[in-house]
């Protein structure tokens, strides 16, 4: 199997627009909303999502509701994975207490990253609700975690690799699948 593109830039943009509408509908507007991206590619996706929300909902300041949540030290696989430098955690000035937090990540796979994000978030405060928005849900969960907002459900084999590229980091927007033997 060759490296194949499953989402291009236009499809990613449409998915983020749809997720923005879903978030606003489920939250009944943008009041008390916080959008936190999980580094690395979840952060630019969170910024884009907040910008779409602000474009839809008058009076919403995208920068004021956006932040990032580093989960590096909360992972349960620190001993088995290559080390990554922690990224900064940036929480909007209003904090997370009593607010609806939307965690944003690029790919939902086992659920371990989100479990770590929930632990990190608990150390920062007590939101009234936590929702999960992902660009791609590829299945194969190890933990009972599901996304509330999904750009694309992408059934994959366990040995396949789903890669998300974002213009802010990689110079282009794309989601590709490759098999393990191609890496």
Domain boundaries, the chain: 4-78+86-182
State the average pLDDT over residues 121-126: 97
Check pLDDT > 60 for residue 1.
Answer: no
State the average pLDDT over residues 31-35: 97
What kind of fold does domain 4-78+86-182 have according to CATH? Rossmann fold (3.40.50)
Which of 175, 151, 153 lies closest to 163 in space, CA to CA? 175
Average pLDDT, rounded, for the chain: 94
State the average pLDDT over residues 119-139: 97
Sequence-separated contacts (24+) of 69-74 with Cβ below 8 Å: 69/36, 69/37, 69/38, 69/103, 69/117, 69/120, 69/121, 69/124, 70/38, 70/39, 70/120, 71/38, 71/39, 71/113, 71/116, 71/117, 71/119, 71/120, 74/116, 74/117, 74/119, 74/120
State the average pLDDT over residues 8-35: 98
The tens digit of pLDDT for each residue in 165-176 reads 999 999 999 999
The tens digit of pLDDT for each residue in 70-88 reads 999 998 877 776 667 788 9
> What pLDDT is attached to residue 183?
47
The tens digit of pLDDT for each residue in 140-171 reads 999 999 999 999 999 999 999 999 999 999 99
Residue in the structure block whose two tokens are 């609806």: 100
The tens digit of pLDDT for each residue in 87-106 reads 899 999 999 999 999 999 99
The predicted model scores a pTM of: 0.94
């Amino acid at each position: 199997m060759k490296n194949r593109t499953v989402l291009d830039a236009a499809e990613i943009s449409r998915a983020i627009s749809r997720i923005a509408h879903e978030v606003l509908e489920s939250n009944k507007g943008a009041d008390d909303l916080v959008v936190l991206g999980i580094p690395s590619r979840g952060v630019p996706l969170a910024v884009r999502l907040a910008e779409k929300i602000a474009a839809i909902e008058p009076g919403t300041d995208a920068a004021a509701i956006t932040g990032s949540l580093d989960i590096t030290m909360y992972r349960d696989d620190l001993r088995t994975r290559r080390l990554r430098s922690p990224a900064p955690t940036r929480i909007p000035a209003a904090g997370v207490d009593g607010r609806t937090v939307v965690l944003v990540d690029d790919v939902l796979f086992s659920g371990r990253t989100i479990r770590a994000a929930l632990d990190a978030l608990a150390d920062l405060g007590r939101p009234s609700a936590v929702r999960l928005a992902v660009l791609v849900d590829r299945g194969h969960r190890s933990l009972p975690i599901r996304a509330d907002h999904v750009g694309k459900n992408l059934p994959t084999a366990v040995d396949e690799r789903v890669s998300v590229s974002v213009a802010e980091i990689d110079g282009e927007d794309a989601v590709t699948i490759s098999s393990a033997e191609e890496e």
